[in-house]
Chain A
């Protein structure tokens, strides 16, 4: 089956620093990847759509300068949380859309970010 990995699985960083999270599709090509954020006991909220070779599309209310997304290849998208603050602490999940299917999407295992 299709596999999506995320790295790191968890990270602790100090307030004001930046942290990069990687999302990789391991055995298929993904022209589109999605980034979600999940606060404790809440649902997954879509943050942005990452398209290979073009700028990401951000959902309303998500600061594009704070959450930098780069989709440099068909198998890798990165999310960089810049100048992180404690309120950015959350569970970040990516999903990758199989470009050969209209609906197949596979989710990564998530990255737990804690900002101290």
Chain B
């Protein structure tokens, strides 16, 4: 069965600091997708990134970057020069071909950016 672990329950940093959110996944599938979502206080999920299991290239989008390492089953997310608006709950998630497209979420990391 698939499982996603986000060991960091809460993180608090001062604005402009860099912060990395960890994500470790478990799967028996060779073909799968990994996601990161942001959930602000409004509750609506905001899609950040999708990665398929065959693409281990790291990705950068502005202040956001993602490090996918199949060898350690990790898909970590780094925010550079954090801002107060980055405060939210962040979820890592997994979808596999064999799971009938079910997306399984990690427990989430609550990120607080202090001014």
* Complex interface: stretch among A11-19, A67-75, A80-88, A89-97: A89-97
State how many angstroms separate the Cβ of A8 from the closest Cβ of chain B.
Answer: 13
Give which listed residue, B43, B91, B103, B104, contacts A109 with CB less than 8 A: B43
Closest to A10 in B: B43
A interface residue count range (under 10 / 10 to 19 / 20 to 34 / 35 or more) = 20 to 34
Complexed CA–CA distance, A15 and B59 (Å): 48
Give which listed residue, B52, B91, B95, B101, contacts A44 with CB less than 8 A: B91
Q: Indicate if the CB atoms of B107 and A43 lie closer than 8 Å.
A: yes
Q: Indicate if the CB atoms of A105 and B108 lie closer than 8 Å.
A: no
Residues of B close to A44: CB separation below 8 A: 91, 105
Q: Indicate if the CB atoms of B103 and A34 lie closer than 8 Å.
A: yes
Closest to A44 in B: B105
Residues of A close to B106: CB separation below 8 A: 43
- Once A93-B45, A107-B45 are accepted as A-B contacts, the answer to whether A32 and B91 lie under 8 Å apart by CB is no
B33 on interface, CB distance cutoff 8 Å: yes
Closest to A31 in B: B101
Give which listed residue, A38, A46, A91, contacts B104 with CB less than 8 A: A46
Q: Indicate if the CB atoms of B102 and A34 lie closer than 8 Å.
A: yes
State how many angstroms separate the Cβ of A89 from the closest Cβ of chain B.
Answer: 14
A49 on interface, CB distance cutoff 8 Å: yes
Tally of B interface residues using CB under 8 Å = 22
A54 on interface, CB distance cutoff 8 Å: no
Q: Indicate if the CB atoms of A49 and B100 lie closer than 8 Å.
A: yes
Residues of A close to B55: CB separation below 8 A: none
Residues of B close to A110: CB separation below 8 A: 43-45
Residues of A close to B42: CB separation below 8 A: 109
Contact with A along B93-115 (1 / 0, CB 8 A): 00101001111111110100000
Complexed CA–CA distance, A44 and B50 (Å): 18
Residues of A close to B44: CB separation below 8 A: 107, 109-110
20 interchain pairs (CB within 8 A)? A41-B110, A43-B105, A43-B106, A43-B107, A43-B108, A46-B103, A49-B100, A91-B43, A95-B103, A97-B101, A102-B101, A103-B50, A103-B52, A103-B95, A103-B101, A107-B37, A107-B44, A109-B42, A109-B43, A110-B45
